[in-house]
C-alpha cells in the first residue's frame, strides 16, 4: 500500500470514524452521505501509462503571454510589444526571441495558448489555477480547496520511502502563499509542501529541518519518538477534526527524512558536475531547477518551483530582456537534462502563472511605479507550457485571437488542465474528499480532459 491515507481503504468505519460522523451530523452530513464520501475518497486509481512525477514552475505574478509563448508578430505595435518572435524546432510554432532554448526543444514540448478563467485578481486566479476551483480573493487569503500538488501527494505518495511526497522551493513562503494555494487546505498539514526555501546557489544554503538537533543522535530520536507515540493517546482517539491524524502522519514523514540519509543526499548539489550546474545557471532559478531534477530522481512525487516577480505593470522591455533569459536557461536545461537521463517520459514539467497580461500595453505603468509602459492583469487568456510525462509533443493546443485577447480555438479552463494531469497519473477526477463544512468535494471540479494534450 502506498502513502495514501490508509483510513480511506478500510472496509468499515473505525471508532474514530464514528466519532467523526457524530460531529459531521451536526453539520447536516448524514451517515450514508459520509460513507459515500469515504468510499469516493479511497484514492481510486484508473489505469495510467506511467508512474509520473511532476515539476511545476510557478511564475508568481502573472507572466505576459505575448513576451513568452504566444507572440503576435503581425499585431499592431501596442499589442505586439517590444520583442520579436522566433521560429522553433516545430514549423508554425513561434516563441519570444528571449526563449531560444525553448525554441530548440519545442519538439519535446507543447504549449496551451487558450487557457483562461476571466479573473484578474492575483489571489483568486492563483487559487483557481492551482486547485481547479475559484475560491479565495484579495480579501480572503485562506485557501478553500487543496492544491493539485497536495491532492497528488495524498493519493500517490512519494515514490521512495525516506523522501517527502511534495517539495516546494525556492520561494514557497513568499507573500500570499505560506504555503497558501500551494497547500493542502482541508486535506491536512501532512500534505503541505516540504519547504526547501532559500537560494540553492548560495554556499550557505541549507534545507530547513533536515538536521538532527544538537546533542541528538538517531538512537535518542527513536526514544523520543516512542514517548510521543504514547502521549495524549485518548485525545488523539477522540479527535474529530483530523488535525491530530495529520500531525501524526507529518511527524512520521519528518522522522523518516531526518533519520535516513536519502533526503539529505538528494538536496546536496555539491554532488553534481560543476559543468552541469553552470549549464542550468549559477543563480537561484537555475540551481532550483537542478535541485528539482534531483528531487524527482530521488523519489519526490511533486516539486513546485515558485519563481516570483512577474507582475510587470511597467518596464516591460527591460524586465523581459533581463528575466526571460534566466527562465529560458533554467527550463531548457531542466527539460534537456531529464531527457538525457531517461526521465522526461516519467516526469511532467509545467510552466504557468495565475493569469496572463493585458494584450494592449498600458500608458505607463501604475501610479507611483516606473512610468515605462508594461502590461496589466488579464485572465481572459494565457499560455501554459507542458513537457514530458507522455503528453503530446510539438503542439500548439488551442489559440488566442490575432491580438492575444481571448481564446479563438479550443478554450481551456484551469480545471480541464488539472483533470488531464490527474488522468495521466492514473487518478480518478471523481474522487472526493470531505471539506471543512463536511461536504464531499471532487478533485476534478467541472474539468474535462484535454484530448489534444493526451495525444
pLDDT digits (tens, 9 = 90+) for 337-382: 999 999 999 999 999 999 999 999 998 866 666 679 999 999 999 9
Q: What is the pLDDT of residue 261?
A: 74
* pTM for the predicted model, two decimal places: 0.82
C-alpha distances in angstroms, 325 versus 25, 68, 151, 192, 423?
A: 56, 11, 33, 31, 33
**254 or 333, which is more confident:** 333
Q: What percent of the chain has pLDDT over 90?
A: 67
Report how far Cα 391 is from the mean position of its chain's Cα atoms.
17
Whether 175 has a pLDDT exceeding 90, the answer reads: no
- CA dihedral (396, 320, 60, 408) in degrees, to 10, reads -30
Q: Strand 399-400 relative to strand 347-352: parallel, antiparallel, unpaired?
A: unpaired
**DSSP structural state of residue 357:** E
- 184: pLDDT strictly greater than 70: yes
- pLDDT above 50 for 423: yes
**Residue with the three cell numbers 539529505:** 264
Instruction: Give the model's pLDDT for residue 363.
Output: 87
Range 300-321 average pLDDT: 96
Whole-number Å distance between alpha carbons of 127 and 180: 9
> How many CA atoms within 13 Å lie on the side-chain side of 77?
2
Q: How far is CA 55 from CA 117, 169, 331, 344, 419, in A?
A: 23, 11, 10, 11, 16
Mean pLDDT of 200-210: 83
Please tell me the least confidently modeled range out of 33-42, 193-202, 420-429: 33-42
| pLDDT surpasses 70 at 174 | no
pLDDT of residue 121: 92
Amino acid at each position: 500500500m502506498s502513502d495514501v491515507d490508509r483510513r480511506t481503504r478500510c472496509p468499515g468505519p473505525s471508532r474514530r470514524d464514528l466519532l467523526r460522523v457524530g460531529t459531521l451530523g451536526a453539520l447536516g452530513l448524514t451517515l450514508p452521505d459520509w460513507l459515500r464520501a469515504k468510499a469516493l475518497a479511497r484514492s481510486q486509481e484508473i489505469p495510467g501509462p506511467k508512474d509520473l512525477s511532476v515539476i511545476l514552475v510557478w511564475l508568481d505574478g502573472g507572466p505576459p503571454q505575448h513576451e513568452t509563448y504566444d507572440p503576435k508578430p503581425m499585431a499592431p505595435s501596442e499589442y505586439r510589444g517590444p520583442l520579436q518572435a522566433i521560429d522553433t524546432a516545430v514549423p508554425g510554432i513561434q516563441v519570444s526571441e528571449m526563449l531560444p532554448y525553448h525554441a530548440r526543444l519545442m519538439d519535446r514540448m507543447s504549449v496551451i495558448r487558450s487557457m483562461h478563467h476571466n479573473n484578474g485578481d492575483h489571489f483568486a486566479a492563483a487559487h483557481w489555477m492551482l486547485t481547479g476551483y475559484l475560491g479565495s480573493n484579495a480579501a480572503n487569503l485562506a485557501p478553500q480547496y487543496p492544491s493539485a500538488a497536495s491532492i497528488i501527494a495524498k493519493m500517490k505518495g512519494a515514490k521512495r520511502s525516506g523522501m517527502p511526497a511534495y517539495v516546494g522551493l525556492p520561494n514557497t513562503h513568499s507573500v500570499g502563499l505560506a504555503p497558501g494555494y500551494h497547500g493542502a487546505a482541508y486535506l491536512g498539514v501532512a500534505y503541505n509542501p516540504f519547504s526547501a526555501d532559500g537560494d540553492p546557489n548560495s554556499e550557505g544554503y541549507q534545507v530547513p529541518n533536515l538536521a538532527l538537533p544538537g546533542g541528538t543522535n538517531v538512537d535518542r530520536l527513536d526514544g523520543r519518538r516512542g514517548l510521543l507515540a504514547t502521549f495524549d493517546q485518548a485525545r488523539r482517539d477522540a479527535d474529530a477534526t483530523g488535525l491530530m491524524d495529520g500531525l501524526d502522519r507529518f511527524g512520521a514523514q519528518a522522522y523518516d527524512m531526518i533519520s535516513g540519509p536519502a533526503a539529505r543526499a538528494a538536496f546536496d548539489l555539491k554532488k553534481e558536475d560543476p559543468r552541469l550546474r553552470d549549464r542550468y545557471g549559477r543563480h537561484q532559478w537555475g540551481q532550483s531547477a537542478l535541485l528539482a531534477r534531483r528531487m524527482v530522481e530521488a523519489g519526490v512525487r511533486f516539486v513546485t518551483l515558485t519563481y516570483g516577480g512577474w507582475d510587470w505593470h511597467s518596464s516591460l522591455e527591460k524586465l523581459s530582456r533581463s528575466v526571460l533569459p534566466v527562465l529560458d536557461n533554467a527550463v531548457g536545461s531542466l527539460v534537456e537534462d531529464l531527457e538525457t537521463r531517461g526521465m522526461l517520459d516519467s516526469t511532467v514539467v509545467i510552466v504557468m502563472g495565475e493569469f496572463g497580461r493585458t494584450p494592449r500595453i498600458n500608458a505607463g505603468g501604475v501610479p507611483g511605479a516606473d512610468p515605462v509602459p508594461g502590461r496589466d492583469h488579464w485572465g481572459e487568456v494565457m499560455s501554459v507550457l507542458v513537457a514530458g510525462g507522455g503528453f503530446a509533443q510539438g503542439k500548439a493546443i488551442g489559440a488566442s485571437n490575432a491580438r492575444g485577447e481571448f481564446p479563438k480555438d479550443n478554450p481551456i479552463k484551469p480545471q480541464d488542465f488539472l483533470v488531464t494531469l490527474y488522468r495521466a497519473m492514473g487518478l480518478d477526477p471523481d474522487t472526493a474528499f470531505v471539506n471543512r463544512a463536511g461536504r464531499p468535494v471532487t478533485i476534478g471540479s467541472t474539468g474535462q480532459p484535454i484530448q489534444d494534450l493526451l495525444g
